[in-house]
Amino acid sequence: MQKVKERIINLVRELNTHNYNYYVLDKPTISDYEFDLRLQELIDFEKQYPAFVLPDSPTQRVGGEITKQFEHAKHSTPMLSLGNTYNKAELQAFDARVKAGLQTNQVEYVCELKYDGVAIALIYEQSKLKQAITRGDGVQGDLITNNVKTIRSIPLMIEGEVPSLLEVRGEIIMPHQSFSLLNAEREEMGESLFANPRNAASGSLKLQDSTEVAKRKLDGFMYFLSTELLDIQTHYDAMQQLKKWKFKVSPYSRLCHSLEEVFTFIEEWDERRKNLPFDIDGVVLKVNDYTMQNQLGNTAKSPRWAIAYKFKAERVATKLLDVTYQVGRTGAVTPVANLQAVQLAGTTVKRASLHNADIMDQLDIHRGDSVFVEKGGEIIPKIVDVDLNQRSKHALPITFISHCPECNTPLIRKEGEAAYYCPNAKACPPQIKGKLEHFISRKAMNIDSLGEGKIDLLVEQKKILRIEDLYQLRAEDLIGLEKSYVTNEKERIVSFREKTVQNILNGIAQSKTVSFDRVLYAIGIRYVGETSAKKLAQHFRNIDGLMQASVLQLMEVEDIGEKIAESIVLYFQDNDNLKTIQSLKENGLQFSLTQNETPLSSKLQGLTFVVSGSFGSPQRRKELEDMVEKNGGKLLGAVSNKLSFLIAGENIGPAKFDKAKQLGIPIISEDEFMQLVSE
């Protein structure tokens, strides 16, 4: 038995080395045939002796786990997005801001390729991959660990000395070859094709069957060590350490000592990107020194020490056939250009947004014009110019419509706003559908069983015309409803059968447990997003307090400005909206904070905290941060003279520790913090 165990250990070690050489170093040291022979030997041994299966065995990458619903997990620290620049002048302005903030002219930047994929956070406990979390909304994402384990370039176990808790962040991508094979298979099976590798990677990571994910042959590059290590003071050194731990880190990154070197890197890769086996859409600049990063800190959305330079989008010319208009849930009317089909950045483009009447006026578009189209951020097609040399002398200008294209109501335009609106909010079909679709969306009430065209059919059949009508639906209202519609040039059928109807009714019933802040977001008050809904819920604690608040009282809430405050007051002055709230209350929706959500105390009121280092698990660190907020304290993103306490765990970064000591800020342990709260 001991010999079998040793053989299994040796096979796992050998096969993992070959996997690393092939998928990370791109230097295979064994033929596929020889690899398959050894792998089959390992599979046979593991079948006979399942007790000897190792967690990092390559057999654990083939998938087989079925995930019906992905759980959510909060990030240890927010996964922020990067600010974008598009020209040298904007990069020079960024460099000037960095140097002014640091009061120095000597700054090193690390230049990296900006991968066009899906951001991911990998959590390792005791060297073993424990969790893989998507970026989500930056605060929390989906747990997709089983699917990520199928990606052969991501280590399941880390060799060597590793902190007990390690977090690494990076990007999951789909290489061009995998993308081409996948779309060829889908075309052969009559399925719709993915528009680009990024969409394909995102869709693959959300598949319920990890066996199918394994077939997609995804890849990944790591670009950030989230865990602070005492002996690493720069981002560049952190990436070298990740390489030692056998993570796949881009070989193309470069340490630049001046902005001129940065420009050279950008110019080089603007050309070389065309020959890469995967998509990039720009270059990322990061201040190399961690102490400098901490000194610069973050805004609410982005780090001040990093920025993305986006490559100029590909541009093509095509013919403008017509302009049609779409009405959104707020009544905003958006003009859409219908184009002669043209290939752009690997996709077929037939439509492009014209945004609003001002943009149409600036472009001065005429019927039959030859227009130039780009993809904004490589995703959304937009018209950027008109080829006047191709314009017919008899071409007529296209002017913005004066009446709603759906209900024929005269459009209005509010002072200071670019959009025209249809004011017929209660009877305009797209507005009704839009409000309902927003209400049932995942970040709101999460009634996912009502997607895929079902709302359209229910509105057309007049089964629901207001959001509160959802809670009056009965099985007999739904069973037997059916409609065919065309999407992506293919006919689909929406059919309400017994099982579908039961799922819908269950989803509606379950939505009654959704928290107050999400209900507040779901009812669709203009300008009230997820974050502002959360802050309003925490401040007023129930809908009655919010409904009675004045503009000035609303503006006392953090991040609630005059525009949002006025919109809230106007919403609750509308009797129709008040009827909706009353009806939803009577149907059992949550319009106040539950005991778990209610702040525990105001003991930490006026105090600010930074939680840094490891505390045994990512969950414990988040628990400490939640405890700060639930007791009236405020979390900061960096150490500064505004900080009251630094809560220090194991492996806290020396930069934060030294800066706190330098500023005379109290550094306390987890136990000392708990004592502070209990007092």
pLDDT digits (tens, 9 = 90+) for 155-200: 999 988 889 999 999 999 999 888 888 877 765 554 556 767 888 8
Mean pLDDT throughout 62-86?
A: 79
Same domain, 235 and 143: yes
* Residue whose C-alpha is closest to residue 223's, from 276, 271, 278, 286: 286
CATH code of 364's domain: 2.40.50.140
On the question of pLDDT at 287 being above 90, the answer is: yes
The reply to whether 280 falls in a domain is: yes
CATH code of 140's domain: 3.30.470.30
CATH code of 632's domain: 3.40.50.10190
Q: How confident is the model at residue 379 (pLDDT cuts 50, 70, 90)?
A: low
Mean pLDDT throughout 476-503?
A: 79
Q: What share of the chain is helix, strand, coil (3-state, %, to 5)?
A: 40, 25, 40
Choose from 50-54, 83-87, 129-133, 225-229 the range with maximum mean pLDDT. Answer: 129-133
The reply to whether 601 falls in a domain is: no
d(CA 331, CA 325) in angstroms, rounded, equals: 12
Q: Is the dihedral of CA 483, 488, 491, 494 positive or negative?
A: negative
On the question of pLDDT at 500 being above 90, the answer is: no
The reply to whether 591 falls in a domain is: no
pLDDT at 556: 86
CATH code of 436's domain: 1.10.150.20
d(CA 98, CA 306) in angstroms, rounded, equals: 9
- Our count of domains for the chain comes to 6
Higher-pLDDT residue of 233, 195: 233
pLDDT tens string 552-570:
999 888 768 888 899 999 9
On the question of pLDDT at 22 being above 70, the answer is: no
Q: What is the mean pLDDT of the chain?
A: 86
Mean pLDDT throughout 44-59?
A: 78
Same domain, 211 and 224: yes
Alpha helices in 417-529, H assignment, sequence order: 429-440, 454-460, 475-478, 498-510, 516-522
Same domain, 438 and 400: no
Same domain, 662 and 617: yes
Where are any strands of DSSP class E within 457-602? 482-487, 490-495
Q: Left (φ > 0), alpha (ψ -120 to 50) or beta: where does 545 sit?
A: alpha
Pick the catalytic residue from 3, 88, 114, 350.
Answer: 114
φ, ψ dihedrals at 27, nearest 5°: -135, 80
Cβ count within 10 A of residue 175: 17
User: What's the maximum distance between 2 C-alpha atoms anywhere in the chain?
Assistant: 89
d(CA 138, CA 279) in angstroms, rounded, equals: 23
Same domain, 385 and 486: no
The reply to whether 599 falls in a domain is: no
CATH code of 31's domain: 1.10.287.610
Same domain, 294 and 182: yes
Q: How many helices (H) and strands (E) does the chain have?
A: 24, 23
pLDDT at 331: 87
Q: How confident is the model at residue 148 (pLDDT cuts 50, 70, 90)?
A: very high
Question: Domain boundary at 310, 336, 366, which?
Answer: 310
Q: Is 464 helix (H, G, I), strand (E, B) or coil?
A: coil
On the question of pLDDT at 378 being above 50, the answer is: no
Q: Is 114 a catalytic residue?
A: yes
Same domain, 213 and 330: no
The reply to whether 165 falls in a domain is: yes
The reply to whether 602 falls in a domain is: no
Question: Domain boundary at 469, 485, 513, which?
Answer: 513
Q: How confident is the model at residue 647 (pLDDT cuts 50, 70, 90)?
A: very high
Question: Domain boundary at 284, 310, 336, which?
Answer: 310
Structural domain boundaries enclosing 669? 608-678
Same domain, 328 and 395: yes
- Reported as half-sphere exposure (CB side, CA atoms, 13 A), residue 561 has a value of 4
Q: How confident is the model at residue 65 (pLDDT cuts 50, 70, 90)?
A: low
Give the Å distances, CA to CA, from 225 to 26, 170, 233, 249, 546. Answer: 23, 9, 11, 11, 42
pLDDT at 66: 59
On the question of pLDDT at 269 being above 80, the answer is: yes
On the question of pLDDT at 281 being above 90, the answer is: no
pLDDT at 377: 42
Same domain, 413 and 284: no
Same domain, 135 and 216: yes
Same domain, 443 and 464: yes
The reply to whether 581 falls in a domain is: yes
Q: Across-strand partners of 412?
A: 421
Same domain, 156 and 221: yes
* Residue 463 CB burial class (10 angstroms; 0-12, 13-18, ≥19): middle
The reply to whether 592 falls in a domain is: no
C-alpha radius of gyration, the chain, whole number: 28
Q: Is 323 helix (H, G, I), strand (E, B) or coil?
A: strand
Mean pLDDT throughout 561-580?
A: 91
Pairing of strands 84-85, 306-310: parallel
pLDDT tens string 317-373:
999 999 999 888 888 898 999 999 988 766 788 888 787 888 888 899 999 999 998
pLDDT at 468: 94
Higher-pLDDT residue of 153, 64: 153
